[in-house]
Amino acid sequence: EVNLAESGGGLVEPGGSLRLSCVASDFPFDTYVMSWVRLAPGKGLQWVAAISASGANTYYADSVKGRFTISRDNSRETVYLQMSGLRAEDTAIYYCAKNTAHEFWGPGTLVTVSS
């Protein structure tokens, strides 16, 4: 069964940085697009970023463009989200999801941006 496990969340001050990781298992990781999606308190799901199977192409929501970077290491079956210039409105649970259909999701990791 597909398994996705996020890590790296925590408390960070505004303007700070954080790197999230998502380790995948039990599917051919290097053949699938991977995404990050977030759920902020009191709000709905928001797609954040996606990366092609090879890692050659990346895509971002306007709200994070220039601040967040998605990358992947297919040898480690891991996708990353490097977040910098964090703002209070980036506070959310961050999920990684498999494929363009977002057919499987991890349990999420909580990022809190606060002084």
Residues in the site for other proteins, rule: CB under 8 A? 35, 37, 39, 44-47, 50, 59, 61-62, 95, 97, 100-108
Minimum distance, C-beta of residue 105 to other proteins, in the bound complex (Å) = 4
Between 27 and 105, CB nearer to other proteins: 105
Minimum distance, C-beta of residue 53 to other proteins, in the bound complex (Å) = 16
Between 27 and 104, CB nearer to other proteins: 104
- Contacts (Cβ under 8 Å, ≥6 apart) of 31: 53
- With contact defined as beta carbons under 8 Å apart, do 30 and 99 qualify? no
**Strands, sheet with 68-73, edge to edge from the N-terminal-most edge strand:** 3-7, 18-25, 78-83, 68-73
CA 38 to each of CA 20, 44, 54, 89: distance values in angstroms, whole numbers, following the listed order: 12, 8, 23, 11
Between 5 and 82, CB nearer to other proteins: 5
**Which of 70, 69, 78 has its CA nearest to residue 30?**
78
Minimum distance, C-beta of residue 17 to other proteins, in the bound complex (Å) = 24
Between 17 and 101, CB nearer to other proteins: 101
The DSSP letter of residue 50 is E
Minimum distance, C-beta of residue 45 to other proteins, in the bound complex (Å) = 4
